[in-house]
Amino acid sequence: MFKYYGKYAPYLFLLPAAIVLVIFFFIPFFQTFALSFLDYSKDIYNPVFIGLNNYTKLFQNPVFYKVLWNTFIYLFVAVPILAIFPLFLAILINQKIRGVTLYKILIYLPVIVSIVVAAIAFKWLYADQGILNYIVTTLGFEPLGWLTDPKYALYSVIIVTIWKGIGYYMIIYLAALMSVPKELYEACEIDGANFLTKHLTVTVPHIMPTIALVTTISAISAMKVFAEIYVMTKGGPLNSSKTIVYYIYERAFENLDLGFASAMAVVLLVIVMIFSLINILCFEKNKYQI
Amino acid sequence: MLKGFKIKNIYTHIILISISLLSIFPFIWLISTSLKGNSENIFAYPPQIIPSDFTWANYSGVWDKVDFIGYFINSMIVAGGTVILNLILSAMAGYPLARMEFRGKKITFFAILATIMIPFQAIMLPVYLITIKLHLVDSVSNLAGFAGLIMPFAVNAFGIFLMRQAFLGIPREMEEAAIVDGCNVWQVFWRVLMPMVKPSLAVLAIFTFIGSWGEFLWPSIVLTKETMYTLPVGVNNLQGMFSSNWRFIAAGSILSTIPILIFFLAMQRYFISGENEGAVKG
């Protein structure tokens, strides 16, 4: 095809997006590293260069390990559930049954509702004399401090994240299920396979790439949780529900210790970039083919 | 022949109805609480879903004390501005990446791809410092405040790649015909190609809108004036305003959810059809 555009046209078209990406992605990306070598804690207006001291401080700080550990618990609990349970739901919904659209709308509802409202709704369910403790006591147990007991707070918050994500991943799985050839199921049924073997031998292998994709996306978003924690527990009690992003927020915007918070941000950056690289290189390669 | 057990529809329905109920129950309980009058104990055991002292008073009470219309307008300005900028900037950047040959194309492509790996939460401190340096904060003016809320999210790699994919799907003859008719490159883009990628623009608009509408972290960092609050920030603020008045907090939360609920029900096919999922979300 003949070249109908001038020499500068491509650059002019790219320019507006490039300006935004440079100012709000690339510069901040490098500046995050730069800030992590500065000490803001004495004078916020005159930071001093302290080399790797923020990292030393970070790795000597027990809260850092607590926060890191909490974030990994978040991953280990939320990710497997979000990778498996929505698939099960998608398989159920993918049958010729009535009311499919209504089920999809209801299960998707938590996805579109603001996380702040969702967190408030759960805070109310978790109240000391709330409805969940009614169920717990009716079953003959002691009422739980869902958000006030350090043993449970983190898991109570994780439940909200899971509850809000199920619909999203279910729809991703539904799209993937459409691509499984029907003949495979028919062959399976002739062999007399039951529900479980049918899906373990046909569905799961066929949509393995989607399962892997959901695993990495949900892992990346689990690394980034903030609002649930901010609204429900503020990271407490005793740091028991504090995760990386909340800790960055707290150190930066409440303690104004930007250097320390940036060292923390670098740790987050490295972890998320590893997950993202796996995602892009393994599962979404064809989407980004040049 | 032994026929393995086959899930009957009745079991499927039981499971799906249970999950659907679990999905909406937190909202149902919030609605129930918001409709209970002062003479009814909201901590009563056993809990009552149907209010015995039914009232709308909590809604009118919270409406009088909280400027929901203001929050709503702020959210509309921010989400609207974010959507418009995303549509224009993503399409403009996607077009040359799909259709033109130029020096540095590869490096541009990979630079944009690299931004996918950078989570906003990790770079938000410098973004905040830059936003202040550019005077895009509400202490300067409301307009600057809105710009500060919008600009960091004005374009992203997902949108650019979505639009690039859309332009790749258009037959080249369209452009050739337009050039023969005397169009210049800007007219080709704006008058010929843009109308043809409307479905992708719609998807980008809807998902950008939802994302921007629900954004909480960034506005809660940059906003200093209550008159600038967006809905999520305003709703979170209810907790401080009414401390343990759960009737008001519940009513306010439900009120704030009505706009996005209407939007979702009107656009539901985009969300639940599964064709567009994962296309834009970061």
- Boundaries of domain holding B77: 63-272
CATH match of A59-284 with 3.40.1170.10: no
Q: Which of A116, A138, A287 lies closest to B232 in CB terms?
A: A116
Q: Is residue B84 part of a domain?
A: yes
Q: Is residue B21 part of a domain?
A: no
What pLDDT shows up at residue A58?
A: 93
Enter the pTM of the model: 0.90
Instruction: Say whether A2 and B189 touch across the interface (CB within 8 A).
Output: no
Mean pLDDT of all residues belonging to chain B = 90
Q: Is residue B40 part of a domain?
A: no
The answer to whether the beta carbons of residues A94 and B233 sit under 8 Å apart is no
Distances (CA, A) of A280 to A22, A232, A273, A285, B53: 22, 33, 10, 6, 55
Distances (CA, A) of B179 to A271, B184, B192, B251, B275: 48, 7, 10, 58, 33
Q: How far is CA A24 from the centre of its chain?
A: 22
Instruction: Say how far apart CA A261 and CA A272 lie, in whole Å.
Output: 16
Closest-CA distance of chain A to residue B78, Å: 15
What pLDDT shows up at residue A286?
A: 67
Instruction: Say how far apart CA A183 and CA A190 lie, in whole Å.
Output: 11
Query: Which residues of B fall within a CB distance of 8 Å from A227?
Result: 216-217, 232
Q: Which of A10, A26, A122 lies closest to B100 in CB terms?
A: A10
What pLDDT shows up at residue A121?
A: 96
Q: Is residue B215 part of a domain?
A: yes
Query: Which residues of B fall within a CB distance of 8 Å from A97?
Result: 9, 12-13
Instruction: Say how far apart CA B269 and CA A89 lie, in whole Å.
Output: 19
Q: How far is CA B1 from the centre of its chain?
A: 54
Containing B263, the helix (H) or strand (E) segment is helix B246-266
Q: Is residue B257 part of a domain?
A: yes
The answer to whether the beta carbons of residues A9 and B100 sit under 8 Å apart is yes
Instruction: Say whether A101 and B272 touch across the interface (CB within 8 A).
Output: yes
Q: With a cut of 50, which residues of chain B have pLDDT below it?
A: 1-7, 277-282
The answer to whether the beta carbons of residues B166 and B156 sit under 8 Å apart is no
The DSSP output letter for B190 is I
Distances (CA, A) of A20 to A199, B81, B138: 46, 14, 20
Closest-CA distance of chain B to residue A151, Å: 23
What pLDDT shows up at residue A287?
A: 67
What pLDDT shows up at residue B1?
A: 38
Query: How many domains is chain B partitioned into structurally?
Result: 1
Instruction: Say whether B115 and A25 touch across the interface (CB within 8 A).
Output: yes
Q: Which of A24, A89, A131 lies closest to B47 in CB terms?
A: A131
Instruction: Say how far apart CA B198 and CA B203 lie, in whole Å.
Output: 9
Q: With a cut of 70, which residues of chain A have pLDDT below it?
A: 1-2, 284-290
Q: Is residue B52 part of a domain?
A: no
Q: Is residue B247 part of a domain?
A: yes
Query: Which residues of A fall within a CB distance of 8 Å from B154?
Result: 20, 24
Name beta bridge partners: A49.
A38
Q: Which of B113, B179, B261 lies closest to A4 in CB terms?
A: B179
> What six digits make up the tokens of A252?
């930066």
Query: Which residues of A fall within a CB distance of 8 Å from B148?
Result: none
The answer to whether the beta carbons of residues A250 and A66 sit under 8 Å apart is no
The CATH number of the domain where B183 resides is what?
Answer: 1.10.3720.10
Instruction: Say how far apart CA B48 and CA A206 lie, in whole Å.
Output: 47
Domain boundaries, chain A: 59-284
Numbers of helices and strands, H then E, in chain B: 15, 0
What pLDDT shows up at residue A68?
A: 94
Residue that has been written with the tokens 């799907």 in this structure: B169
Q: Is residue B5 part of a domain?
A: no
